[in-house]
Structure 1
Amino acid sequence: MAHGTAMLKMEEQNVDSIYSNILECRHCEAQLPCGANPVLTLGANAKILIIGQAPGLKVHQSGIPWNDQSGRELRSWLGVSEAEFYNVDNFAILPMGFCYPGKGKNGDLPPRPECAALWHGAVLPLLKNIKLTLLIGKYAQQHYLSAATNESLTGNVRNFEKYLPDVLPLPHPSPRNFIWKAKNPWFKEEVLPVLQTRVKEVLYGERT
């Protein structure tokens, strides 16, 4: 099954059916060095949506989103456990590219553009309980922030408050971004406490 929303009539779509169809998607398999293996999680009751880049090789091999060092760092930023993170009633994980795109000169290649074009527009209306969307990395921010508000990644994250309470831009938690985090200590001091507070509010109604 290769061509996204054309595979299901709109009245027949629900989160489970579209999730199953995405897992079977082979639309750009010929361009993927390790083949197609869409990695994402969807749940109709999810409250927080994570839109990142694309799975790395380790995640591609395991089939578990954010099952790597970047994921451990992300969960630390969010202040949640693995069990909380992988509970589909808490988080939906919908990357810009669902499959590992391959290696480039300076890390992994960008997400394949086909995934968002084929699937995001069909999935997002079905996630009716989302209260917070985390845009992780420049590709998600370029796609989902308006031209009027989108800046550089650093600018987006630095001005995170203008997107709250519904959206929060974040850098990618990759170890490759250690230098960025060292140059921008305000991220840890100012953004992470707000992020963790907002996550608790959304998941548990907690205010600190």
Structure 2
Amino acid sequence: MTTSPDLDAVLSDIRACRACLGELPHTPRPVVRVFPATRLLICGQAPGRRVHESGLPFTDPSGDRLRNWMGVDYETFYADHRIGVAAQAFCYPGTAPKGGDYPPPRRCAELWRPRLLEALPQIELTLLVGGYAQVWALGDRVKPNMTGTVGAWRDYGPSILPLPHPSWRNTAWLRRNPWFELEVVPYLRQRVRGILGR
């Protein structure tokens, strides 16, 4: 399948973007992976350091956990073009002094997300991974915190599913909120099977 001209153009522009040059602790390296066939869009917050180095989204333990939630293996995740990844910000924002990455800069989403989403008309389900992605995408529909937003997951369907970030930093959150793996993960796997099974 060939890439549509509109998507080709926006991806070329995103990959050439240097809007944050001089503001990041490294040369910008936008990471985005979408295709004309993409039906399931994963919208995280921003690439981490390992993804910045590899140029491939979710090539880290967070990706392993996310794939487990989705019920797909590593090969399917990267080989099936019906799965796409486009974070709120496309470049690694750097690591804060106290650990954890800096928040994704809003500038990136403001510059690119409307144009990119317009070029992806086949999207059936968007996974909003983490609080920053949820705030950006849901606007005034977001709850006061990430737990509330993910807990209200039924309110956003069928086209949107909010998820916690699969980082190891959220392991304690997962233990405190067993309903996520009991209720949300089975629903997510069902939706993924439905999209990829056609």
Matched, 1:190 2:176: no
Return the alpha-carbon distance in structure 1 between the equivalents of residues 160 and 144 of structure 2.
15
Match of 2:134 in 1: 141
Q: 2:26 is matched with which residue?
A: 34
**Residue 152 of structure 2 is aligned to residue 159 of structure 1:** yes
SS at match of 2:140: coil
Code of the aligned partner of 1:145:
L
Contact 2:40 2:125 in 1 (8 A): yes
Structure 1 position 77 matched with structure 2 position 76: no
Pairwise CA distance, 1:195? 0.5
1:98 aligned residue (80, 90, 93): 90
Q: Which residue number corresponds to residue 50 of structure 2?
A: 58
| Structure 1 position 121 matched with structure 2 position 129 | no
Residues 70-118 of structure 1, C-alpha deviations (whole Å, 9 max, x = no match): 0111001100122221136211211111111111124100012111010
Answer yes or no: is 1:107 the counterpart of 2:100. yes
- Tell me, which stretches of 5 or more residues in structure 2 are unaligned? none
Q: Per the alignment, in what secondary structure is the counterpart of residue 50 of structure 1? A: strand
Deviation at 1:134, TM superposition (A): 0.4
| AA matched with 1:81 | D
RMSD between aligned residues: 1.5
> Across the two proteins, how many residue pairs are aligned to each other?
194
Q: TM-score, normalised by structure 2?
A: 0.93
Q: Is the 8 Å Cα contact of residues 45 and 128 (structure 1) preserved in structure 2?
A: no
Residue 154 of structure 1 deviates from its aligned partner by 0.5
The answer as to whether partners of 1:49 and 1:132 remain within 8 angstroms in 2 is yes
- Counterpart of 1:102 in structure 2: which amino acid? G
Amino acid at match of 1:141: Q
Mean alpha-carbon deviation: is it higher for 143-152 or for 165-174? 143-152
Unaligned regions of 5+ residues in structure 1, if any? 1-11
Deviating above 6 A after TM superposition, structure 1's stretches of 4 or more consecutive aligned residues are: none
Match of 1:23 in 2: 15
* 8 Å CA contact 1:47, 1:91 repeated in 2: yes
* Aligned-pair CA distance for 1:149: 4.6
Q: In 1, are the aligned partners of 2:15 and 2:29 still within 8 Å (CA)?
A: yes
Partner SS, residue 103 of structure 1 = coil
